[in-house]
Amino acid sequence: MKIFLAQQNYHIGNFESNTTKIISAIEEAKQQGGDIIVFSELSVCGYPPRDFLEFDDFILKCNQAVDAIRQHADTIAVIIGAPERNPIKEGKDLFNAAFFLYDKKIKAIAHKTLLPTYDVFDEYRYFEPAYEWNVIEHKGKKIALTICEDIWNLGNNPLYRICPMDKLMEQQPDIMINISASPFDYTHDEDRKAIIKANVLKYKLPMFYCNAVGSQTEIVFDGASMVFDKSGNLCGQLPFFESTLQGFVLNDDGSIDAPVIEPASRVPDTELAPLVLNEHLNIAQVHDAIVMGIKDYFGKMGFSKAIIGSSGGIDSAVTIALACTALGPENVRAVLMPSQYSTDHSVNDAVALSKNLGNPYDVVPIKNIYDAFLQELQPIFKDLPFSLAEENIQSRSRGNLLMAIANKFGYILLNTSNKSELATGYGTLYGDMAGGIGVLGDCYKLQVYALANYINRQKEIIPGNIITKAPSAELRPGQKDSDSLPDYAILDKILYQYIERRQGPKEIKAQGFDAALVDRVLKMVNVNEYKRNQFCPIIRISPKAFGVGRRVPIVGKYLS
């Protein structure tokens, strides 16, 4: 039996585009003699559709797309994901479903059992869990068809009472097929391999796993669809961050007619949960995820050009380099906005960066704008000493200039704030926190440096001085980040324990960090929730990003 995995990049609610992609892949698989072609979770409408699911018209368009697709499921079986109405009034209105199409008919429908409600997931808000489980017979094979989270409970997850595969095993299936929309983070490749291997070894069945690819605002799907034989060997893995179609031959004995990429002995046995921050972990994947996040955000929003404030610092340099890779350097406009406090080397470094990348840049000094603000405010400020107010005027002047140029020429402003700054509130609302999407908002400062070195892996793109000099916002004479923040080498490690690992103050102090410093850092995180609540969407690359996956009260007093 020849089974194709169609790893595709969908656009939420763009039924015409999604349906065209799906039908095109079906026709190609038929030409190559495919028996089954598998698409990812909610492929018809795109994942996650969120409150679009509450519109009757949206569900109607899903049904119409399924009807159009099944006309092409004649000589090949097609597995697609779409919402399905629940006929029982007592439950939720919809199921998250996998449709099995063949002979131009809907031959079977499998419903998702385990509906995640953690981190970026909120599926129980919309869907009813499955209450029956049946294998699907096709060309002499019994297929156990599951959806994403359904394979993540092997009977030992306290979040769930039911193990769908245990139910399906009662009917003696020959093969497992899982359709997923599993988001990227820098630990998830290892996590998925471990869980698929565990399923294969427990049930002694091969598994075909089809994952979505592409970015949906802040959530990135990396693809990396996989095929495992019944012995737990990885026999096929589709590329990361690419749309592709690939077929695999399943032999009658459960083996895969393909060379083993990774023997079972080398496939991870457990999920990856680093106890400490490793800024270099899967940094190439992080780079590619952010590039895809930028590219898809612009492409799916209908924009093509970006604007960025270029300061000569590490954050803006990495952001500009990533944007140039995603959009092409000709579509990335850097604006240098020096003040009287800016150093010559910062301006020179920013110019050198744009020359290395080949992107256009402008120099717009803000001294006169800044002085005009101070002059108009003098009757109110009087002779009060220089403070945060004057610093923030500079930042907001830059934000105004960037947004003015963006409005005039149809650009999207890319925000350059990193996770360390966002965590501690080291940023100015409506100033350097302005932007359409946060490029580095889920990367700690140490990870930003790791990205810079990765970008420079073959030749110097980011000038060396940008990487080696002490970071500074340059809002007052001689200012350095270290005047306001602990050293990033310590700060980032504390933040990682609190944000990613959800460790409390006692647990973090027990790891050897200075008690007063821990209290100070955690207080900064909590009191600045109001700033993050007003921030733009952030491209997610970690297991716990600021945004939809982290819901903390703005006025909460915990640790404050």
* 205: nearest Cα among 178, 184, 182, 241: 178
What CA–CA distance (Å, rounded) separates 280 from 274?
12
112 is catalytic: yes
* 559: nearest Cα among 511, 532, 526, 510: 526
* 202: nearest Cα among 169, 179, 171: 169
What value, to the nearest 5°, has the Cα angle with vertex 282 and ends 487 and 153?
110
41 is catalytic: yes
- Matching residue, tokens 């797309």: 65
- Beta strands 234-237 and 213-216 are unpaired
What CA–CA distance (Å, rounded) separates 273 from 292?
24
What CA–CA distance (Å, rounded) separates 32 from 410?
44
* 43: nearest Cα among 78, 76, 72: 78
What CA–CA distance (Å, rounded) separates 499 from 496?
5
* 10: nearest Cα among 243, 239, 189, 185: 243
Catalytic pick among 45, 148, 235, 324 = 148
460 is catalytic: no
- Burial of residue 12 (CB within 10 Å: 0-12, 13-18, 19+) is middle
* Span between the terminal Cα atoms of the chain, in Å: 61
- Matching residue, tokens 């360390």: 420
Catalytic pick among 21, 30, 112, 230 = 112
Transcribe 509-529 into DSSP letters: HTTT--HHHHHHHHHHHHHTH
Are the CB atoms for 357 and 318 separated by under 8 Å? no
What CA–CA distance (Å, rounded) separates 418 from 385?
30
Catalytic pick among 21, 30, 41, 218 = 41
**In whole angstroms, how far apart are CA 279 and each of 79, 260, 290, 292, 526?**
39, 31, 15, 20, 23
- Active-site residue numbers? 41, 112, 148
